[in-house]
Structure 1
């Protein structure tokens, strides 16, 4: 055998070795993914969101236009005193060109015209017609198209948060929080995990009422986004997907999820801009036949919403309780 043949034989052996290593690594990766995913499933209980939303029928969101995707984020309220209503309503705006995420919170007591039901609180739309009626209500009152929805059961929030941020999220609690959250959170800078973090974002029995709750929700989501782009969270992605399966119902397809996820990772240093509706100086608390509501100036709020999405407005400080 001449030298050329020997070199060819060595190259073939090296190539087969590399292929064998690649196959082994792929196999290990697949086993790791399945193991982590099953670990996530083991954390979850039997969720009912998918079955509930199937009863409401089809979500008829339009196709995204101009590279912008609006995803309606709904938080399912598990408390008995408000059964069936959405405790949280946010709209996540994702720009595919800039890869930037913006977050809009619509306060639950905003007095809106729900198609087919007349003037009601915003958080009544879900119980009356599910995600699709919430979409129609947003379009009717704020002229904003929502393309997809994602609904989160609060029972799963602590587990999902702990996978993303196992060491917790640092927050500065201004005063003792206890009423209505079945725990006591003491004042001061500290790291909250799981159930404590859920209590922090749901507390609203103070001078700021729902305004403070909305600000805390936006704060925690922004910090979880920062944690989610870390190496630890990427390694735990299959576990996160497994845990989320029972607690999140969404009509987002896998390709859109991957596109948004890639954009967030590419833009991991970008902070999330936030807006609260109603904006300051645009509302007044009123008592109507259904109880206490927020009557708002729709023209002003729509104008501020449009400027926010176009990037031509100052970011609203949602830590303020709001000026009427």
Structure 2
């Protein structure tokens, strides 16, 4: 049992580092001080063993932030390119993943209405968590932040991932490949036509950045989730010594306020759970410029908050709070959204 637990621990560390965040919690943990956070870094864990034991009887929700930086700073000063709400139901052994579009127009404490991904830059993971909680009536106090910049190297280390590329995706992916090749001093090949390919790291990250095909950011979020699951399945095939080597190599790219001692106790259970559903929010939005800046405006924030709760907690009897109603009304007044909006087809 000890060897099996150790293997799962290494696997979970790798999965956390991979695309946009993953559903598992890092076994070793990473402790940082409040002093570090004041310099723009994330803080230490305050989750207790008893709190986690209580939650193994019910549900547990945490946030994953994906940042894109070549610096070691994973806190204040870096925008969250990806935001994911992860709900773990310990009774049914099911996991639900909800991604929130980075351009979503929301209320940020002391900063007014702005893009949701700016919250992480303004105040690190604490303000980012507060922003998600206030705008969607959630009560999340745990987070994991992952540096997205080194994902391409990690994908290469696991041998690449197999993906089917459409004609429209092939049309746009090469521009992103060129951009990443220049940044990372690589020479990954272009993809010239539709087909099934084993993507290397640069190609995989380029695939997640495509946003100009039909569906726009909705389709982009879907690609990110698809890559996430593909990498997860590939990582599960690695041997424990391979996982350990990768964990040691990439551990600095993670920051979390989970305590390693507490996390280890639930790793075995999480590894047996199933991802039963994924969805992107807002499901209904208007995309347009406000004061010259493009935003994804939820139509309405109130209805999207309700739908998010229905997705994460199907049995919950939820009604939007006065705070969410007030923010929703303010957004509607400022944005003056039209009647025609983009709606998710899922």
Counterparts in 2 of 1:101-250, with a 5 A limit? 101-163=95-157, 166-174=158-166, 175-176=169-170, 177-181=173-177, 182=179, 184-186=190-192, 187-230=194-237, 232-250=238-256
Q: 1:161 to 1:264 in 2, by over 3 A?
A: farther
Which segments of 5 or more consecutive residues in structure 2 lack a partner in the other structure?
15-30, 72-76, 182-189, 317-340
Tell me what 2:330 maps to: none
Q: Could you tell me whether the CA contact under 8 Å between 2:68 and 2:149 is conserved in 1?
A: no
- Whole-Å separation in 2 of the counterparts to 1:227 and 1:67: 29
Superposed CA deviations along residues 19-57 of structure 1, whole A, max 9, x for unmatched, are xxxxxxx9xx9xx99xx9xxx9xxxxxxxx979755247
Tell me what 2:90 maps to: 96
- Whole-Å separation in 1 of the counterparts to 2:220 and 2:239: 26
Q: Could you tell me whether the CA contact under 8 Å between 2:98 and 2:280 is conserved in 1?
A: yes
Superposed CA deviations along residues 257-285 of structure 1, whole A, max 9, x for unmatched, are 33453224323xx3441011111xx2212
**2:143 partner SS:** strand
**2:159 partner SS:** coil
- Whole-Å separation in 2 of the counterparts to 1:259 and 1:307: 29
- Whole-Å separation in 1 of the counterparts to 2:209 and 2:315: 31
Tell me what 1:13 maps to: none
Superposed CA deviations along residues 60-96 of structure 1, whole A, max 9, x for unmatched, are 988675632222111112389xx83211111222222
CA RMSD of aligned residues (A): 3.5
Q: 1:223 to 1:260 in 2, by over 3 A?
A: farther
Corresponding residue pairs, total: 267
Tell me what 1:299 maps to: 302
- Whole-Å separation in 2 of the counterparts to 1:103 and 1:72: 10
Q: 1:53 to 1:70 in 2, by over 3 A?
A: farther
1:75 pairs with 2:66: yes
Q: 1:287 to 1:155 in 2, by over 3 A?
A: closer
**2:69 partner SS:** coil
Select the structure of larger CA radius of gyration.
Answer: 1
**1:196 partner SS:** helix
- Whole-Å separation in 2 of the counterparts to 1:221 and 1:256: 25
Q: Could you tell me whether the CA contact under 8 Å between 2:44 and 2:258 is conserved in 1?
A: no
Q: When the two structures are superposed, what TM-score results if normalisation uses the length of structure 1? A: 0.71
Q: Mean Cα displacement is larger for which, 175-184 or 299-308?
A: 175-184
- Whole-Å separation in 1 of the counterparts to 2:46 and 2:287: 31
Q: Could you tell me whether the CA contact under 8 Å between 2:103 and 2:295 is conserved in 1?
A: yes
**1:155 partner SS:** coil
1:151 Cα deviation from its structure 2 partner? 1.3
Q: When the two structures are superposed, what TM-score results if normalisation uses the length of structure 2? A: 0.66
Q: 1:255 to 1:50 in 2, by over 3 A?
A: closer
Q: Could you tell me whether the CA contact under 8 Å between 2:82 and 2:102 is conserved in 1?
A: yes
Tell me what 2:257 maps to: 251
1:286 pairs with 2:288: yes
Which segments of 5 or more consecutive residues in structure 1 lack a partner in the other structure?
1-25, 41-48, 314-320
Q: Choose between structure 1 and 2 for higher RCO, CA contacts under 8 A separated by at least 6 residues.
A: 2
Q: Could you tell me whether the CA contact under 8 Å between 1:86 and 1:124 is conserved in 2?
A: yes
Q: Could you tell me whether the CA contact under 8 Å between 1:227 and 1:233 is conserved in 2?
A: no
